[in-house]
């Protein structure tokens, strides 16, 4: 396995990429079981700096197989997305853990399609928002998520071991009631009325 | 897979239930019995293959991420370590004492260790663990071994004592929420016997080497007289240079330690002295740099690698006696990784920067006026100080719940509310809500000393607390004094209350403004968000200006009422109606913000630019996310996405109001110059405002006149003139 990977030289890559241009389709599949695991691990190992143990992968794909997707080109796995979702402060929240597309296949919308699929499933499962972290220097990922509607909610100081800051990106799904944002206080500066009944009135009016 | 395994276990457990041996030392509880699991594990292990796992309910992401794959060099730092223990390393000669039996080499190696330790220390300050940096030094881990080596011993001692001082400063400041790694010292010998004698020991070594240096300079005829002085080492040609190289390193340490202790004297009483030591530190660092060449070429080189920029010693030689992997088990919660140390040069630069930052703190006047304090902290943060400098600032500002350990918080609140000095002993200071307000204020000062990423998050959170304390104050005041909005009442207590309330509002809006503007510095906003962000800033600034204005007017009124007879009433009236410079400055910013809102809105409306259309949500969700904390705290009251949309819906490039906003900002800023003629910081702000306004007027004109003719023109926004007010740039795309 190892040596195969290393022997993929420039020419092979070119061929692959050209093959893609000639119109062979990219196939997207949801995580389908044990045979997909090594494919995912290989991709992520190659492209991301953080080493993950096999347990980390299992943690994600066994608990949320429906949120992980793989992209194939001519039977070869060229991209993947790994996610989770769970309770966070009384809301259901999706989280994108890993996203990778092989270098020769980048810039063709594969990553966009992969995350879009995951996000759809999260939305349909009742998530209120989706989050992830990305290095502040990862222009490609930041642009990609920006176009999908993610905002940079926070900056995380020296989040990664290499000392680089991260952004926490967030995507909030529309909620019907969100259009009348509920405040815990319905009191303004200068209005000297503070009464619990007033507060009750306002909330019950909705 | 996981389910299968669990099934297996359950089945197996049923069978073996009967023959459970009891464990006498831990009695079984109500619900539990002891069972021997070895047969179970044996059976299970045949089922479980490499890389498989049994998923228990408490198996979370953290547990998964903390797992190590043994023998994978990417994860298992154990396989890359050379030694199993410090003792083994020493046994195998990794840290010999003396470093060499050749005294020249011994001194050179000692200097390398000093330099490498400096690189380690700087790397630690920059966010790595103490265990993997400074305490990768085997000599530091076993201090008793070097007690015979006076030079190395004294140096290691002062390094340890300094680290200890820095750790306690940072932990006392508690500004390091995200920087926990910094104060993790578990298992490290950070305190040694006789540490309190550190300075006198250092002094003695300094004295000896000074004498050796003098002796080396003496002409050979005189040397006989000085015969009783043994040289530092045996090579006479190198003696002078090596003495100097050692001395500047020792003296840097001595002065640096003095800086740290002086800065911690109560009430800022050691700042003056600390400044002197800072000056000495900087000059010793310069001497170190000057001697770099000497050390490089005179090193009777042991292992000089090809010269690169990341050597951790001045000589370029590898230091002996370090092994970063020894401590890696103590260093971090996650699997330890190799770290990259700063080079010696970068370390020197780091300490220079740190010392300059500390000097700024030491030159501060300890002004009792809150506004001045806030301005100082905000200006200080613009220097991008690192953790250590920020911690020392915070320790200076808040000591024992008082400003500089000197001024009671209530006095500070009164001053900030522009109340006359006489009220600062009023009974009100014992009021519970006032005490709470005081805590909020000291907390705010602390937060302003943290790194800007963390700071912004904290500021967002405390907005709510300020809002609540305001409501509580109102209630408390009303209970005590009746209707407070009746200002004609001459009651002192009530007067105080209304003053304080106005100030709390003003301060809350100040926090909100800082929260919003920090977003630019942290690059949290994308260009398609600028319009709504400037709109929010605009709304908040108006509120802030209003409160500041009211506060100042009232205080004027008050002092006039209390002032003797009426003087020239016409003149007085005129003075009253004049807008205070502080408010005018805010107005400049309001105009800029408004101009930017309208300009961006027009570009959106007419060119479809700066719009965000994602597949999953709309701009409304972006608005809710960006301003969630402000909206939750009703800051300000009654604004929403709808009000934003109403403002911008009709913006057009052809309307002159946008143009006028920038023109007004420019004019007002110009006029204000005389009011701030001796305040360079405010003058700088005014200059920046003028520049932004000017550039935006030009850009606006360009787009207005050429926009429709030339569709290839694009508008960009840059922060080239002001950190948070953008300047438009028109370019051909
Ligand atoms: C980030 C990554 C997954 C993107 O994969 P991809 O398939 O090339 O992405 P897409 O083709 O879907 O890109 C969609 C949009 O993202 C943006 N984008 C992607 N890569 C970019 C780059 N290098 N520079 C600027 N923008 C980029 C573009 O706006 C692009 O749209 P466009 O091509 O129409 O201009 C890929 O670069 C990668 O695997 N990187 C290494 C791993 C990584 O960083 N993962 C993300 C961790 S959070």
Mean pLDDT of B278-287: 98
What average pLDDT is seen over chain B?
Answer: 86
Distance CA A132, CA A109 (A): 19
CB atoms within 10 A of CB B37: 13
* Residue B402 pLDDT exceeds 90: yes
Beta bridge partners of B403: B398, B407
Per-residue CA distances from B47 to A167, B5, B41, B417 (Å): 42, 8, 10, 73
Counting from 1 in the atom list of ligand 1, the atom nearest the Cα of A108 is 11
pLDDT for res B709: 66
pLDDT for res A55: 86
* Residue A182 pLDDT exceeds 90: no
Mean pLDDT of B117-144: 93
Of B426 and B316, more confident: B316
CB B362 within 8 A of CB B144: no
* Residue A187 pLDDT exceeds 60: no
- Domain ranges for chain A, please list them: 2-172, 174-206
From A121-135, B307-321, B447-461, the region with the lowest mean pLDDT: B307-321
The answer to whether the Cα torsion of B392, B397, B398, B402 is positive or negative is positive
Of A36 and B132, more confident: A36
- Please tell me the distance in Å from B237's CA to the nearest CA on chain A: 44
pLDDT for res B358: 98
Where does the pLDDT of residue B484 fall: very low under 50, low under 70, confident under 90, or very high at 90 and above?
low
- Beta strand pairing status for A129-135 and A166-172? antiparallel
The CATH T-level fold of domain A2-172 is Aminopeptidase (3.40.630)
Where does the pLDDT of residue B31 fall: very low under 50, low under 70, confident under 90, or very high at 90 and above?
confident
Where does the pLDDT of residue B491 fall: very low under 50, low under 70, confident under 90, or very high at 90 and above?
low
**Percent of chain B whose pLDDT exceeds 90:** 61
- Chain A residues in contact with B334 by the CB 8 A cut-off are 161
* Residue A61 pLDDT exceeds 80: yes
pLDDT for res B272: 97
Residue B561 makes CB contacts below 8 A (sequence gap 6+) with none
Distance CA A107, CA A112 (A): 9
- Please tell me the distance in Å from B546's CA to the nearest CA on chain A: 12
* Candidate of A42, A95, A106 to mutate for ligand 1, largest count of ligand atoms within 8 Å of Cβ: A106
DSSP assignment letter at A18: H
Give the length of chain A.
206
* Residue A192 pLDDT exceeds 60: no
pLDDT for res B192: 83
Ligand 1 site, residue A99, Cβ cutoff 6 A = yes
Give the length of chain B.
733
pLDDT for res B72: 66
Ligand 1 site, residue A110, Cβ cutoff 6 A = yes
CB B216 within 8 A of CB B231: yes
Of B582 and A188, more confident: B582
CB atoms within 10 A of CB B109: 25
Beta bridge partners of A85: A94
Retrieve residue A91's tokens: 């809301």
Whether the upstream peptide bond of residue B98 has omega within 30° of 0, thus cis, is yes
Angle B106-B112-B118 from CA coordinates, rounded to 5°? 140
What phi and psi, each to the nearest 5 degrees, are found at residue B236? -65, -35
User: Half-sphere exposure (CA, 13 Å, Cβ side) for B105?
Assistant: 13
Q: What is the pLDDT of residues A17-48, one digit of tens each?
A: 444 554 568 999 999 998 999 999 999 988 88
CB B659 within 8 A of CB B575: no
Distance CA B375, CA B133 (A): 36
pLDDT for res A120: 97
Of A201 and B668, more confident: B668
pLDDT for res B677: 93
pLDDT for res B483: 59
- Name the residue with tokens 């008082």: B402
Where does the pLDDT of residue A12 fall: very low under 50, low under 70, confident under 90, or very high at 90 and above?
very low
- Chain A residues in contact with B478 by the CB 8 A cut-off are 192
Distance CA B574, CA B577 (A): 5
* Residue B271 pLDDT exceeds 80: yes
Facing residue for B53 by CB, picked from A34, A55, A184:
A55
> Using the beta-carbon criterion (under 8 Å), do A156 and B178 form an inter-chain contact?
yes
Q: What is the pLDDT of residues B182-238, one digit of tens each?
A: 788 878 888 888 888 999 999 999 999 999 999 998 876 665 555 678 899 988 889
Ligand 1 site, residue A116, Cβ cutoff 6 A = no
What phi and psi, each to the nearest 5 degrees, are found at residue B308? -130, 180
* Residue B336 pLDDT exceeds 80: no
The answer to whether the Cα torsion of A15, A20, A23, A28 is positive or negative is positive
Ligand 1 site, residue A97, Cβ cutoff 6 A = no
3-class SS of residue B103: helix
**Best residue of A155, A168, A173 to probe chain B, by most B CBs closer than 10 Å:** A155
First CA to last CA distance, chain A? 61
**Percent of chain B whose pLDDT exceeds 70:** 84
CB atoms within 10 A of CB B115: 27
- Chain B residues in contact with A184 by the CB 8 A cut-off are 464, 632
Q: What is the pLDDT of residues B632-688, one digit of tens each?
A: 999 998 899 999 999 999 898 888 888 899 999 999 999 999 999 999 999 999 999
Distance CA B256, CA B352 (A): 11
CB B255 within 8 A of CB B202: no
Of A182 and B288, more confident: B288
Burial of A91 (0-12, 13-18, 19+ CB in 10 A): exposed
Angle formed by the axes of helices B344-362 and B236-263, to 10°?
40
The residue whose CA is least distant from atom 42 of ligand 1 is A100
Of B408 and A194, more confident: B408
pLDDT for res B307: 59
Among A20, A112, A8, A130, residue whose Cα is nearest residue A64:
A130
* Residue B63 pLDDT exceeds 80: no
* Candidate of A78, A103, A144 to mutate for ligand 1, largest count of ligand atoms within 8 Å of Cβ: A144
Where does the pLDDT of residue B733 fall: very low under 50, low under 70, confident under 90, or very high at 90 and above?
confident
Where does the pLDDT of residue A8 fall: very low under 50, low under 70, confident under 90, or very high at 90 and above?
very low
From A201-205, B533-537, B593-597, the region with the lowest mean pLDDT: A201-205
pLDDT for res B708: 66
The residue whose CA is least distant from atom 30 of ligand 1 is A144
Ligand 1 site, residue A100, Cβ cutoff 6 A = yes
- Please tell me the distance in Å from A183's CA to the nearest CA on chain B: 5
Q: What is the pLDDT of residues B512-570, one digit of tens each?
A: 999 999 999 999 999 999 999 999 999 999 999 999 999 998 888 777 766 544 444 44
Mean pLDDT of A41-63: 87
> Using the beta-carbon criterion (under 8 Å), do B484 and A192 form an inter-chain contact?
yes
**Best residue of B55, B60, B64, B465 to probe chain A, by most A CBs closer than 10 Å:** B64
Ligand 1 site, residue A48, Cβ cutoff 6 A = yes
Counting from 1 in the atom list of ligand 1, the atom nearest the Cα of A102 is 39
B660 sits in which H/E element: helix B656-672
CB atoms within 10 A of CB B311: 23
Cα of A80 to ligand 1 centre, how many Å? 13
Ramachandran assignment for A76, one of left (phi > 0), alpha (psi -120 to 50 degrees), beta (any other): beta
What average pLDDT is seen over chain A?
Answer: 79
- Domain ranges for chain B, please list them: 86-221+232-303+321-332, 365-483+491-524, 579-732
- Please tell me the distance in Å from B191's CA to the nearest CA on chain A: 28
- Please tell me the distance in Å from A15's CA to the nearest CA on chain B: 31
* Residue B573 pLDDT exceeds 70: no
pLDDT for res B674: 94
pLDDT for res B129: 86
Whole-complex ipTM: 0.83
Distance CA B143, CA B23 (A): 45
Distance CA B478, CA B276 (A): 53
* Residue B502 pLDDT exceeds 80: yes
């Amino acid at each position: 396995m190892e040596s195969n990977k290393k022997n993929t030289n420039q020419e092979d890559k070119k061929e692959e990429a050209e093959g893609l241009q000639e119109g062979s389709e990219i196939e997207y599949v949801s995580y389908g079981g044990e045979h997909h695991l090594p494919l995912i691990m290989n991709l992520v190992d190659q492209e991301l700096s953080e080493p993950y143990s096999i347990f980390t992968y299992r943690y994600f794909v066994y608990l949320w197989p429906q949120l992980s997707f793989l992209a194939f080109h001519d039977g070869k796995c060229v991209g993947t997305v790994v996610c989770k979702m769970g309770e966070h402060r009384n809301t259901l929240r999706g989280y994108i853990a890993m996203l990778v597309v092989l270098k020769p296949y980048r810039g063709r919308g594969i990553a966009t399609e992969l995350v879009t699929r995951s996000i759809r499933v999260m939305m349909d499962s009742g998530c209120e928002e989706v989050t992830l972290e990305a290095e502040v220097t990862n222009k490609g990922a930041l642009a990609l998520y920006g176009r999908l509607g993610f905002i940079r909610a926070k900056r995380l100081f020296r989040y990664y071991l290499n000392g680089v800051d991260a952004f926490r990106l967030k995507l909030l799904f529309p909620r019907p009631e969100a259009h009348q944002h509920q405040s815990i206080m319905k009191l303004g500066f200068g209005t000297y009325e503070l009464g619990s009944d007033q507060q009750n009135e306002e909330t019950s009016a909705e | 897979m996981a389910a299968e395994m669990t099934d297996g276990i359950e089945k197996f457990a049923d069978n073996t239930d009967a023959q459970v041996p009891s464990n006498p030392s831990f009695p079984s509880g109500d619900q539990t019995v002891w069972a021997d699991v070895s047969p179970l594990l044996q059976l299970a292990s045949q089922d479980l293959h490499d890389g498989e796992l049994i998923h228990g309910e408490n198996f979370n992401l953290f547990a998964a991420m903390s797992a190590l794959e043994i023998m994978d060099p990417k994860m298992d730092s154990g396989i890359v370590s050379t030694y199993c223990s410090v003792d083994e390393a020493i046994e195998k000669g990794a840290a010999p004492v003396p470093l060499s039996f050749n005294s020249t080499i011994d001194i050179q190696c000692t200097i390398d260790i000093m330099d490498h330790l400096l690189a380690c220390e700087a790397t630690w300050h920059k966010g790595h663990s103490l265990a993997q940096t400074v305490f990768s030094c085997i000599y530091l881990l076993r201090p008793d071994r070097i007690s015979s080596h006076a030079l190395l011993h004294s140096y290691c001692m002062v390094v340890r004592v300094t680290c200890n001082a820095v750790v306690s400063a940072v932990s006392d400041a508690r500004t390091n929420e995200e920087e926990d790694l910094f104060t993790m010292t578990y298992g490290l010998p950070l305190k040694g016997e006789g540490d309190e004698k550190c300075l006198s020991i250092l002094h003695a070594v300094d004295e000896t080497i000074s004498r050796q240096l003098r002796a080396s300079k003496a002409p050979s005829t005189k040397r006989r007289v000085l015969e009783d002085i043994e040289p530092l080492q045996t090579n006479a040609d190198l003696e002078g240079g090596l003495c100097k190289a050692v001395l500047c390193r020792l003296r840097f340490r001595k002065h640096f330690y003095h800086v740290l202790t002086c800065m911690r004297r109560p009430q800022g009483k050691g700042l003056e002295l600390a400044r002197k030591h800072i000056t000495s530190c900087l000059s010793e660092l310069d001497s170190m740099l000057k001697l770099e060449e000497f050390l490089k070429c005179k090193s009777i080189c042991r292992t000089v690698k090809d010269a690169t920029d990341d050597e951790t010693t001045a000589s370029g030689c590898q230091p002996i006696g370090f092994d970063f992997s020894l401590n890696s088990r103590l260093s971090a919660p996650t699997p330890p990784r190799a770290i990259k140390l700063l080079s010696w040069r970068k370390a020197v630069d780091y300490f220079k920067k740190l010392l300059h930052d500390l000097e700024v703190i030491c030159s501060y006047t300890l002004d009792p006026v809150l506004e001045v304090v806030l301005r100082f902290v905000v200006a200080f943060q613009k220097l991008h100080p690192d953790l250590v400098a920020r911690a020392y600032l915070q320790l200076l500002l808040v000591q024992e719940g008082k400003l500089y350990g000197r001024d009671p918080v209530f006095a500070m609140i009164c001053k900030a509310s522009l109340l006359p000095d006489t009220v600062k002993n009023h009974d009100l200071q014992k009021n519970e809500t006032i005490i709470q307000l005081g805590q909020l204020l000291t907390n705010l000062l602390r937060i302003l000393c943290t790194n800007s990423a963390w700071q912004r998050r904290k500021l967002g959170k405390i907005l709510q607390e300020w809002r609540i304390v305001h409501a509580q104050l109102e209630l408390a005041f009303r209970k005590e004094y009746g209707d407070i909005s009746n200002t004609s009442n001459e009651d002192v207590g009530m007067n105080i209350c209304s003053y304080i309330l106005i100030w709390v509002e003003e301060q809350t809006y100040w926090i909100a403004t800082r929260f919003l503007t920090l977003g630019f510095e942290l690059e949290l906003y994308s260009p398609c968000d600028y319009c709504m962000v400037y709109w929010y800033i605009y709304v908040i600034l108006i509120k802030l200006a209003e409160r500041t204005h009211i506060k100042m007017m009232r205080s004027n009124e008050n002092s006039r009422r209390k002032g003797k007879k009426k003087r020239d009433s016409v003149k007085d009236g005129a003075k009253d109606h004049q807008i205070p410079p502080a408010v005018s400055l805010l107005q400049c910013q309001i105009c800029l913000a408004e101009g930017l809102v309208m300009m961006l809105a027009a570009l959106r409306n007419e060119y479809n630019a700066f719009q965000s259309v994602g597949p999953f949500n709309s701009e409304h969700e972006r608005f809710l996310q960006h301003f969630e904390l402000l909206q939750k705290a009703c800051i300000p009251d009654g604004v929403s996405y709808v009000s934003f949309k109403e403002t911008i819906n009709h913006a057009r490039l052809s309307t002159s109001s946008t143009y006028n906003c920038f023109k007004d900002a420019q004019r007002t800023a110009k006029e204000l110059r005389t009011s701030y003629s001796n305040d360079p910081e405010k003058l700088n702000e005014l200059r920046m405002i003028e520049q932004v306004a000017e550039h935006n007027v030009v850009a606006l004109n360009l787009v207005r006149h050429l926009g429709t003719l030339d569709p290839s023109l694009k508008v960009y926004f840059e922060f080239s003139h002001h950190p948070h007010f953008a300047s438009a740039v028109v370019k051909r795309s």
